[in-house]
Amino acid sequence: AKPAVPFGGKFRIIDFPLSNCINSGIGQVGVITQYKSHSLIRHIQRGWGFLRGELDEFVELLPAQQRIETSWYEGTADAVLQNLDIIRSHMPEYVLILAGDHIYKMDYGTMLAAHVENDADITVGCIEV
């Protein structure tokens, strides 16, 4: 899985979106994994265990379980759908869906503030390439 690919020594590509979340003040994160996820799960368990459970901060690992369908996830939207009950159990005010295999730095707080200010139903963050 691309998010587990090493980057810059001890880091993995997944560390970019996770760091962006923490640096944006987002302390409740779910990571949906699919295939070949063992090294990714191990990395997150070992490298992101510093979050404070008593402050309701966490990185929750959601491996594919084929709970709704008999096939593995068929894209990001299907992965979210198959984990919707888990997401809802946390009663989030907002849900931010990110790719785990992109390398960039972004303050999600700015995007979320614009989303709230515009009373948007959905906001998509992108840049011109």
R_g of the chain computed on alpha carbons: 15
Contact criterion met (CB below 8 Å) for 90 and 26: no
Residue 55: per-residue pLDDT: 82
Residue 75: per-residue pLDDT: 86
Which H or E run includes 109? helix 108-117
Residue 17: per-residue pLDDT: 95
Q: What is the pLDDT of residues 72-99, one digit of tens each?
A: 888 888 899 989 999 999 999 999 999 9
Average pLDDT for the chain: 89
Q: What is the pLDDT of residues 4-35, one digit of tens each?
A: 999 988 899 999 999 999 999 999 999 999 87
Contact criterion met (CB below 8 Å) for 60 and 53: no
Q: Comparing 33-42, 47-56, 63-72, which segment has the lowest mean pLDDT?
A: 63-72
Rounded distance between C-alpha atoms, residue 41 and residue 47, angstroms: 10
Q: Is the dihedral of CA 79, 81, 82, 84 positive or negative?
A: positive
CA dist 49 → 19, 35, 43, 46 (Å): 13, 22, 10, 6
pLDDT band at 49 (very low <50, low <70, confident <90, very high): confident
Contact criterion met (CB below 8 Å) for 13 and 5: yes
Residue 69: per-residue pLDDT: 67
